[in-house]
Amino acid sequence: MRPSSEAVDMLAHTHVTDCYQCGKCSAGCPVGERMDVLPNQLVRLVQSGNFRRAMDCEAIWLCVSCQTCSARCPKSVNCAGVLDALRQLAVENNVINAAARRTIVFQQVFLNNIRRNGRLNELELVGVFKSKAFLKDASVPLLFKDSLLAPKMITRGKFHLMGEKVKDRALVGRIFERCFAEGPRGHK
Amino acid sequence: MRIGVFTCWCGENIARHVDCQKVAEAIRNLLGVHCSVDYKYMCSDPGQSMIREQIRNGKLTGLVVAACSPHMHLKTFRKAAEAEGLNPYMVEMANVREHCAWVHHDREAATAKAIDIIRMAVAKVQQNRPLAAIRVPVTKRAMVIGGGVAGIQAALDIADAGFEVVLVERDPSIGGKMAGLSETFPTLDCSQCILTPRMVDVGQHPRIKLHTYSEVEAVNGYVGNFKVTVRKKARYVDITKCNGCGDCWNKCPQKKNLSEFDFGMGKRTAIYVPFPQAVPARPVIDREACTMLLKGKCGICAKKCTRGAINFEDQDQLITEDVGAIVAATGYKLCDIGKDEGRYKGYGEYGFGRYADVIDGLQFERIVSASGPTGGEIKRPSDGKTPKSVVFICCVGSRDDAKGCGYCSKICCMYVAKHTMLYKHKVHDGQAHVFYMDIRAGGKNYEEFVRRAIEQDGAEYHRGRVSRITEHNGQLIVRGVDTLVGEAMTIEADLVVLATAMRPADGVESLAQKLNIGYDEYGFLSESHPKLRPVETNTAGVLVCGACQAPKDIPESVAQASAAAAKVMMLFARDELTREPEVAEVNEQTCAACFSCVRGCPYKAIDEADITDRQGRLIKRTARVNPGLCMGCGTCVAICPSKSVDLAGFTEQQVYAMVESLV
Amino acid sequence: MSETQTKHDFEPKIVAYVCNWCTYLGADLAGTNRLEYPPNIRILRLPCTGRIDFNLIVKAYEMGADAVLVSGCHPGDCHYTSGNYHARRRWMLFRVLLEGIGFDMRRVHFTWISAAEAKKFQEVVIDITEQTRALGPYGDFRKLLEAPVC
Amino acid sequence: MQIGYYPGCALHGSSNDYERSVRVCLGRLGMELRELDDWVCCGATAAHSLNAKLATALPARNLAIAERDGIDQMLAPCPMCSMELIKAGQALAASDALRREMSEIVEQKVSGATGVLNLIQVFQQIGLERIQKAVVQPLSQTKAACYYGCLLVRPPEQLRFDDCENPTSMETIIKALGAEAIDWNYKTECCGAGMTMCNEDTVLDLAHKILTDVAAHGANCVVVACPMCHVNLDMKQADVERRYGVTHRMPIYYLSDLVGMAMGASGAEMGVDRHYVVA
Ligand SMILES: Cc1cc2nc3c(=O)[nH]c(=O)nc-3n(C[C@H](O)[C@H](O)[C@H](O)COP(=O)(O)OP(=O)(O)OC[C@H]3O[C@@H](n4cnc5c(N)ncnc54)[C@H](O)[C@@H]3O)c2cc1C
Ligand SMILES: Cc1cc2nc3c(=O)[nH]c(=O)nc-3n(C[C@H](O)[C@H](O)[C@H](O)COP(=O)(O)OP(=O)(O)OC[C@H]3O[C@@H](n4cnc5c(N)ncnc54)[C@H](O)[C@@H]3O)c2cc1C
Ligand code: SF4
Ligand code: SF4
Ligand code: SF4
Ligand code: SF4
Ligand code: SF4
Ligand code: SF4
Ligand code: SF4
Ligand code: SF4
C-alpha cells in the first residue's frame, strides 16, 4: 500500500483531518519524552503528506500502544491507530528507522512462533529473537541480557521448557495462510 | 367581478422581451376582466394615478398589476387601491419581469408565458375576498426574565423610556454572574463598582416590579398580549416587613452551608442574603439547610427579628402578569467537568472535584475579589497557602467534541489573560502559566490586553493542551505540551484554574418551550437571524439578549440588551398592532377534531375548543385558530384530513383556480 | 397537446410550487441577474412549502403538467420555524403513495433553493426542463387516474 | 457457577503463577473455570502491528470455539487478550461481511456474541457481599496501590469498563478485604508492557516512575490484574533498582492473590512465593 492520508484513515479507522494540533496526545504519552517526533507531529505529517519523515522516525517504534492518546483526544482522532498504521506502512515500504529493527524482528519472530505452535513458546521466542536481533544489529550484550533472569525463572517454575502446542496446528497454519494471502498486511 | 389588469413595460425592461400590447390584448377577453391596459411605468406617479382613475371610473372590484415581483411593489399598489376605497387584498401582482422578461429572450415564448402568469393572477383575484388587517391592542408593559447584567440593562432601558417592566429573577438577588466578578477586562474596572449602582437603580425604579426568587411557570397569549404565570418561591421572610438589619443571619447557628455566590469557596448561614450589595437586600431561608424547616427545631431567627418578618409557614405563590413583550436574559453557567451530564462528558483526567486546588474561572474570580471569601488575598482552597505557581488551562470543555461541546466559549481567552494579570498584581513573586490552543481576542483593545499580560506581567503562555493533572505532596503536577517547541512538559503548580465552557443556564430548554422559541443543540436560545435579527426570535414579541443566546462578555451582553429594549420600545410605540390578515381559520362545522393541525402548527396557534349549546352541554369539539398567534404558514391546511382549515389569501379555491387557469 | 407531437419539438409544461420566502426570492434574483432558463415553468407562490399538500401536486398533472417542482427553504432555515419540516415528512409518505400507484417518479422534483441561490434555481429549471423534454408528454397520468384505487 | 476460561499464552507460560492464583482464588469462591478447548494465541501487539486481518482472525478462532461449545461468557485474565477478544467480537457483531469472511478463515461459524470478562468483572459478578463473607483474615496491614495499567480501561469506548481516568473497581474489592486502598497518581499510566523484550530502557523508566509514586503515597504493595504489569513491576524491579540506584522492595500482588489470602489461603498456595520481590 502506498502511504497516503486516506490509507492511514482506512487502517486506523479515523479521520486525520479532524486533528487541530492541540497536542494533548503528546502531552499524555508515557514515552513522549523519548520520541524524536511527537504523536501530534506525526498526525500533522500525515495531514500534510510528509510520509517519509513520519515512517522513518524512531517514535512510531517507541509507542507502547497504551491508547492514552486516543482515549483523551478532543477530536476523537485515533492517534494510537495512526501510529499503528504508520508502522505497517513503514514495514511495507521498507522505510524503517535503524533503531527500530529490533522491534520488528521481535514481532515477526513472535508471529512465526504462533504460526508454528498455535501458542507462544516463550523460551523459543527469547532464543530465536536474541539470535536474530544479534544477526541484524550485532548487539552482543543483548544476547546475554536476560540470561541473568533465565535461571531464576526456571527455578521459580516460570518457564515450561517444552512449551505448549495446540492440537490443530494445521488449522492455525491455514488461518495464517489465508490472512497473508492478500499480502503481508492482510489486505491489498 | 370587474377586474382591471395593468401591464407594465418597466421602461424597456419588460417590453424588450414581452410584447406588452399583445399581452393586454389577450387578457382583455378573459372572463371578469373589465379593462386591460399597458403603460410604460406603472409604479410612477402618473402610472398610479391612471390605476386609481380606472378603479374610480370603472368601479373595479379587483386589480392585477403585471409588472415586477410582489416583493418589490405589491405594497405600493395595495396602498394605491386602498386610497381609492378598494380593499387592498383584492390586489394581486403578476411577476412578468423577474420571472419572465428578464430570464427569457425568445420574445414569442416570453409573451406567451406572460399571458399565462397574468391569467393565473386573474384567476386568483376572482376568488379573493376583502380582508381586514387584524388589529391587536398592545399591553405596554414588558417582562424581563433573568436579572444578570443583560436583564438589568434591558429593564432599565425600557423603564427609562417610560414603560413598566416586570423583572423575574430565579435567585434571591439580581446581579447574575457579574456581581461576583472581580475586575473586568479590558479596562480592569471593579465589577461591583459599576454594577451595584445599576442594581440599586432597578430596586428603586418606580416602573420596575421585581420578582426575585421566582420563576416563569407558564406563558400564554401572543405578541402585545402575553399572560405570564410566575411562581414566587417561598422565601420564609416577608420582605415588606423586613428592613435588612441582619439580626437573623448573624445569629443563625447553621453556618456551614456552601455559598452559591462564592461558588462554594465560602460559607453562609441557613438564613442569608447572597452578598452584601444584594437587591433586594433581604434574606431568604434555605429550606434544605434550616433545622426549623427540616426538623422543627431552632427558630432563633424568628426570635431575633423585631419586625416579625420571619414566616416558617410561607408557601410558593402563583402570580399572573399581563405583558406585551418578553425579553429572555437567563445567562449562562460554567459546565461542571467533574461529572458526566447528558451529552457532556466529565474530565476525569483533570481531577476537578477530586483535587481541592483545581478550580474554575468563577471560583478564581471570588478568590481575587476584594469582597470574596479571602478578602481578595490569593489563597488556595486546600490549605490557604499563597500559590507561587498557577497554571491556567484554556478551552476546558470548549472546542472538545469528544466531551460533547464543539464551540468556542469566546470569553475565556480574555478572562484567563485577566486572571494572570490580577494574580501577578497580587503575588509579585508568583508565576502564571497558561496552556492555550489559540488566543481569541477579537474586541476593541482585547489583543493589546492579552499582550500586556504576556509582555508586562510575564505570564508564560504555552501552546498546547494539558493531558493529565496529578497530585503529589500537595503539588499539582500538570502534564502538558508546548507544540511550538515540540516538547512535552510538566509544570508543578500550587493551583490550577480551568477555563471551563460556558453553557446555557439550567432549565433554559423548558423556558424556551414555554416561550415557544428555538434553541440550538447546546441549549443556547436561537435568534431569528444571526445578522439581521440578532435579538428577535421567531415568536413575535419575544426577544433574547446576553449569554443565554451564545457565550458573550459584558460589553456584548449589554449592547444586545439595549437592542432588545429598543425592539420592545418599537412595539410599545404603537397603540395597536396590525397584522397581515393572511391567517388560517377552521370550519368548525366540518372539523373532525382529530387535532392533527394542533400538533402540526409550528406556532402553537391552534387550540382544542368545545362547542356547547346554551345549557353548556358539549355539542362537539373543534380546532380553533388564534389569529393573534397564527403566522400564516399554511401547514395546517395541508395537514387537515377533512379539509376544514383554510388560509386567507391562499385559500384552496384561490390556489386551485390558479392551477386550473393553466390549462 | 397533440398526439402527433414528437419528443423533439415537444415543449413540456412544468408547474412549480415554491415558498414565498426562499425559492420565490431565488427566482427573483435569477431575474435580477438575468440568468436565462427555458420558459416552460409556471411558478405558483405559496407562503411555505408546508402549505403544499399532495392534492395540489396531483391537480397539476390533472391540468396537463408534465412535471412538478416543489421547492422551499433549506432544512433548518424555514421562515416559519418548522413548516418545511412538516412538508418533508409528508412528502416522504407521498412518495411511497405515488410509487405504490405506479406514478412516474421522474416527473416530480423536490429541491431546496434559498433566496440567494439564483444560480441553483436556473440550474434546477434547466435540468428539469431537459429531463422532462426527454421523457415526453405525461399522457399516462390520465390512465392512472382511471385505474381503480384501493 | 461455571464460566468459560481463556488463559492466553502468558498464563500458560511465564505468568503461570497468575493462573494458579486465579484458579485457587475463584475455586474457593465456588467459581468453576472451563478452559476453552484447544485455544490459540490472541496475536497480541505483534498481530495488529503487522497484519490487520490476523489480528481479528486469531481472536475470532477462539470466539468460534466458545460459540461452538456453548460458552457465552469467559474470563480472560490477561487484559491484552481480553481487549483483543473484545475488539474482534465487536467488529464481528457489527459487520455481516466480516462474520462471513472470518467464519471462512477460521473454518467455524463465528458471530462475536461471547461475553469477555476481565478478572475484576468476574469478582463483580460473584458479588462484593459474597467475597466479604468469605474473608477470614482481613488484610488490615495492607496498604495497596491498585494499578490498572492501560489495557484494562482503554480504549474506553470499546471496553466500557469503569471510569478510564479514575477507575475505582479494584479499590472497592480491596476495601472489602479489609485492606486500605491508597490514592495515587499512576493508576492508568502504562508500564510499557509490549516493549519488555525490545525496548528495555522505556520499560524500566516507566516502571521506575510507577514504583516511585506508589512509595511516595505510602503504599506497602501494588495490586495488579495483568500478567505484563506483573512482569514489569516484579520481575524487572531488581533491574529498576540497579539502573536507578534505589531500593523499592515493593511486593506486587495479583488481585486474586489478595482475595485468596484474605480467604485464608497461604501465600504458597496462591503462588506468591514464586514472585521475585517477596514481602
Ligand atoms: C470567570 C469569568 C470571568 C469573566 N470576566 C469578565 C470580564 O472581565 N469582562 C467581561 O466583559 N465579561 C466577563 N465575563 C463574562 C460575563 O460574566 C458575562 O458576559 C455576563 O455575566 C453575562 O450576563 P448575562 O446577564 O447574560 O448572564 P448572567 O450573568 O448569567 O445572568 C443571568 C441571570 O438570569 C438568572 N436566571 C437564569 N435562568 C433563569 C430563569 N429560568 N428564570 C429567571 N431567572 C433566571 C440567573 O440567576 C442570573 O441572575 C466573565 C465570565 C467568566 C465565567
Ligand atoms: C473581506 C471581508 C469579508 C467580510 N465578510 C463578512 C461576513 O462574511 N460576515 C459578516 O458578518 N461580516 C463580514 N465582514 C464584515 C462586514 O463587512 C462589516 O461588519 C459590516 O459591513 C459593517 O457595517 P457598517 O454599516 O458598520 O459599515 P460599512 O459597511 O463600512 O458602511 C458604512 C457606510 O457609511 C458611509 N460613510 C462613511 N463615512 C461617511 C461620512 N463621513 N458621511 C456619510 N457617510 C459615510 C460609507 O460610504 C458606507 O456606506 C467582512 C469584512 C471584510 C473586510
Ligand atoms: S490530541 Fe487529537 S486533536 Fe490533539 S493533536 Fe493529538 S490527535 Fe490531534
Ligand atoms: S499509544 Fe503510543 S503514542 Fe499513544 S500515548 Fe500510548 S505510547 Fe504514546
Ligand atoms: S432580623 Fe428581621 S428585619 Fe432583620 S434582616 Fe432578619 S428578617 Fe429582616
Ligand atoms: S430557624 Fe433556621 S434559619 Fe432561623 S436561625 Fe434557625 S437554622 Fe437559621
Ligand atoms: S475563548 Fe479562548 S479559551 Fe475560550 S474556548 Fe475559545 S479559544 Fe478556548
Ligand atoms: S486580525 Fe483578523 S486574521 Fe488576524 S487574528 Fe484577528 S481576526 Fe484573525
Ligand atoms: S386537522 Fe382538520 S379536522 Fe383535524 S382538528 Fe384540525 S381542523 Fe379539525
Ligand atoms: S397557518 Fe401555520 S401558523 Fe397559522 S394556524 Fe396554520 S399551521 Fe399554525
Of these ranges, A54-58, B162-166, D182-186, the one predicted with the greatest mean pLDDT is: B162-166
Domains B141-331+506-572 and B334-503 fall in the same CATH topology? yes
If you take atom 4 of ligand 3, which residue's CA is the nearest one? A22
pLDDT at position C150: 40
C-alpha cell recorded at residue D3 = 464460566
Taking the C-alpha atoms of residue A93 and residue B549, their distance in angstroms, rounded to an integer, is 53
Looking at beta carbons, which residues of chain D come within 8 Å of B471? 185
pLDDT of residue B479 exceeding 80, the answer is yes
B82 vs B13, B132, B133, CA distance in Å?
27, 11, 12
Taking the C-alpha atoms of residue D25 and residue D255, their distance in angstroms, rounded to an integer, is 10
| DSSP-based three-state secondary structure for B45 | helix
A31 close contact with D: CB closer than 8 A: yes
Taking the C-alpha atoms of residue B650 and residue B657, their distance in angstroms, rounded to an integer, is 11
H-state helical runs in chain D: 8-11, 16-28, 44-50, 52-68, 79-94, 96-105, 119-126, 128-134, 156-159, 169-176, 200-216, 227-230, 237-244, 255-262, 267-270
D226 close contact with A: CB closer than 8 A: no
C-alpha cell recorded at residue B133 = 388587517
Task: Determine, for residues B634 and C65 on separate chains, whether the beta-carbon distance falls below 8 Å.
Answer: no
pLDDT at position A184: 67
pLDDT at position C2: 42
Taking the C-alpha atoms of residue C73 and residue C52, their distance in angstroms, rounded to an integer, is 13
Q: What is the CA radius of gyration of chain D?
A: 18
Residues 6+ apart with CB under 8 A from C112: C22, C71, C72, C73, C74, C75, C84
Task: Determine, for residues D166 and B354 on separate chains, whether the beta-carbon distance falls below 8 Å.
Answer: yes
C115 close contact with B: CB closer than 8 A: no
Is residue B604 within 8 A of residue B516, CB to CB? The reply is: yes
pLDDT band at A147 (very low <50, low <70, confident <90, very high): very low
Average pLDDT over residues B309-337: 97
D158 close contact with A: CB closer than 8 A: no
CATH number of the domain that residue C75 is part of: 3.40.50
CATH 1.10.1060.10 residue ranges of chain A are 5-92
Share of chain B above pLDDT 70, in %: 100
Taking the C-alpha atoms of residue A147 and residue A162, their distance in angstroms, rounded to an integer, is 18
**Phi and psi, residue C68, nearest 5°:** -130, 135
Taking the C-alpha atoms of residue C10 and residue C133, their distance in angstroms, rounded to an integer, is 7
Looking at beta carbons, which residues of chain D come within 8 Å of B351? 166
Average pLDDT over residues B226-236: 97
C-alpha cell recorded at residue A103 = 522491534
The kind and range of the H/E element at B390 are strand B389-396
Taking the C-alpha atoms of residue C119 and residue C33, their distance in angstroms, rounded to an integer, is 9
pLDDT of residue A139 exceeding 60, the answer is no
Q: Within 13 Å, how many C-alpha atoms sit on residue B656's CB side?
A: 10
B641 close contact with A: CB closer than 8 A: no
> Measured in whole angstroms, how far is the alpha carbon of residue A87 from the centre of its chain?
6
Share of chain B above pLDDT 90, in %: 88
Looking at beta carbons, which residues of chain A come within 8 Å of D61? 171-172, 175
Topology (CATH level 3) of domain B141-331+506-572:
FAD/NAD(P)-binding domain (3.50.50)
D225 vs A30, B588, C127, D158, CA distance in Å?
20, 73, 66, 19
Of the options 3.40.50.300, 3.40.50.80, 3.40.50.10490, 1.10.1060.10, the CATH number for the domain spanning A5-92: 1.10.1060.10
Taking the C-alpha atoms of residue B656 and residue B124, their distance in angstroms, rounded to an integer, is 9
Three-state helix/strand/coil letters over chain A:
CCCCHHHHHHHHCCCHHHCCCCCHHHHHCCCHHHCCCCHHHHHHHHHCCCHHHHHHCCHHHHCCCCCHHHHHCCCCCCHHHHHHHHHHHHHHCCCCCHHHHHHHHHHHHHHHHHHHHCCCCHHHHHHHHHHHHHHHHCCHHHHHHHHHHHHHHHHCCCCCCCCCCCCCHHHHHHHHHHHHCCCCCCCC
pLDDT at position A149: 52
Tell whether C80 is covered by a domain.
Answer: yes
Q: Which domain holds residue C27?
A: 14-139
pLDDT at position A142: 41
pLDDT of residue A161 exceeding 70, the answer is no
pLDDT band at B473 (very low <50, low <70, confident <90, very high): confident
User: With b meaning 16 or more CB within 10 Å and e meaning fewer, what string describes B159-177?
Assistant: bebebbbbbbbbbbbbbbb
| DSSP-based three-state secondary structure for D56 | helix
Q: Name which of D216, D149, D134, D139 is nearest D180 in CA terms.
A: D139
Q: Which residues line ligand 3 (CB under 6 A)?
A: A 19-25, 40, 43, 73-75, 77, 79
Q: Residue type for C101, please? A: I
In ligand 3, the atom with minimum distance to the C-alpha of A16 is: 7
Q: Name which of A19, A75, A16, A69 is nearest A46 in CA terms.
A: A16
Is residue D141 within 8 A of residue D130, CB to CB? The reply is: no
Identify each DSSP E strand in B418-524 by its residue range: 431-436, 460-463, 468-472, 475-482, 487-493, 495-500, 502-504
Q: Residue type for B650, please? A: F
Tell whether C2 is covered by a domain.
Answer: no
pLDDT at position D194: 63
Taking the C-alpha atoms of residue D21 and residue D16, their distance in angstroms, rounded to an integer, is 8
Residues of A with a Cβ under 8 Å from any B Cβ are 20-29, 32-33, 38, 40-41, 68, 72-76
Q: Residue type for B515, please? A: L
Average pLDDT over residues A16-41: 96
- Residue D78: exposed, middle, or buried by beta-carbon count in 10 A (0-12, 13-18, 19+)? buried
Tell whether C5 is covered by a domain.
Answer: no
This prediction's pTM: 0.82
Q: Name which of C145, C141, C137, C142 is nearest C40 in CA terms.
A: C137
Nearest CA in chain D to A84: D49
Q: What is the CA radius of gyration of chain C?
A: 16
B556 vs A154, B413, B552, CA distance in Å?
74, 16, 6
User: What is the sign of the dihedral through the CA atoms of B443, B449, B455 and B457?
Assistant: negative
Domain ranges of chain B: 3-131, 141-331+506-572, 334-503, 584-647
Looking at beta carbons, which residues of chain B come within 8 Å of D164? 348
If you take atom 5 of ligand 5, which residue's CA is the nearest one? B244
pLDDT of residue A157 exceeding 70, the answer is no
Domain D136-274 has CATH 3.40.50.970: no
Strand partners, B67: B95
Is residue B90 within 8 A of residue B81, CB to CB? The reply is: yes
C with D: 3 or more CB pairs under 8 Å? no
pLDDT at position B253: 97
Q: Which residue has the cell 492517534?
A: A79
In the predicted model, residues of chain C with pLDDT beneath 70 are 1-8, 75-88, 140-150
Taking the C-alpha atoms of residue B86 and residue A163, their distance in angstroms, rounded to an integer, is 104
B247 vs B235, B238, B255, CA distance in Å?
17, 15, 14
Task: Determine, for residues D165 and B470 on separate chains, whether the beta-carbon distance falls below 8 Å.
Answer: no
pLDDT at position C144: 63
Q: What is the pLDDT of residues B67-106, one digit of tens each?
A: 999 999 999 999 999 999 999 999 999 999 999 999 999 9
Domain B3-131 has CATH 1.10.10: no
C-alpha cell recorded at residue B259 = 455559598
In the predicted model, residues of chain D with pLDDT beneath 50 are none
The three-point CA angle B290-B296-B298 to 5° equals 60
Q: What is the pLDDT of residues B609-645, one digit of tens each?
A: 999 999 989 999 999 999 888 888 888 998 898 999 9
Q: What is the pLDDT of residues A90-102, one digit of tens each?
A: 988 989 888 788 7
CA dihedral of residues B485, B488, B494, B495 (deg, nearest 10): 80
Residues 6+ apart with CB under 8 A from A49: A4, A5
Q: Which of residues 19-38 of C touch B (CB under 8 A)?
A: 24-25, 27-32, 34-38
Tell whether C9 is covered by a domain.
Answer: no
C-alpha cell recorded at residue B257 = 452551608
Topology (CATH level 3) of domain D2-117:
Glutathione S-transferase Yfyf (Class Pi); Chain A, domain 2 (1.20.1050)
Taking the C-alpha atoms of residue D136 and residue A171, their distance in angstroms, rounded to an integer, is 48
Per the model's pLDDT, the better-predicted residue between A63 and B327 turns out to be B327
Tell whether C115 is covered by a domain.
Answer: yes
Average pLDDT over residues B16-27: 96
Q: What is the pLDDT of residues D206-228, one digit of tens each?
A: 999 999 999 999 999 999 999 98
Taking the C-alpha atoms of residue B165 and residue A54, their distance in angstroms, rounded to an integer, is 65
A81 CB near ligand 4 (under 6 Å): no
Average pLDDT over residues B375-397: 96
Is residue A57 within 8 A of residue A37, CB to CB? The reply is: yes
Domain B584-647 has CATH 3.30.70.20: yes
pLDDT of residue B178 exceeding 70, the answer is yes
pLDDT at position C143: 66
- Residue B153: exposed, middle, or buried by beta-carbon count in 10 A (0-12, 13-18, 19+)? buried
Taking the C-alpha atoms of residue C24 and residue C28, their distance in angstroms, rounded to an integer, is 6
Domain ranges of chain D: 2-117, 136-274
Of the options 1.20.120.1200, 3.90.1170.40, 1.25.50.10, 3.50.50.60, the CATH number for the domain spanning B334-503: 3.50.50.60
Q: Which of B260, B265, B411, B524 to mutate to test the pocket of ligand 1 (most atoms within 8 A of CB)?
A: B411
pLDDT at position A158: 59
Looking at beta carbons, which residues of chain B come within 8 Å of D166? 348, 351, 354
pLDDT of residue B170 exceeding 70, the answer is yes
Residues 6+ apart with CB under 8 A from B147: B155, B167, B168, B169, B171, B173, B174, B175, B176, B202, B210, B212, B329
pLDDT band at A143 (very low <50, low <70, confident <90, very high): very low
Taking the C-alpha atoms of residue B571 and residue B136, their distance in angstroms, rounded to an integer, is 12
Q: Name which of B307, B291, B297, B189 is nearest B242 in CA terms.
A: B307
Q: Residue type for B420, please? A: T
Q: What is the pLDDT of residues D156-165, one digit of tens each?
A: 888 889 988 8
pLDDT of residue B333 exceeding 70, the answer is yes
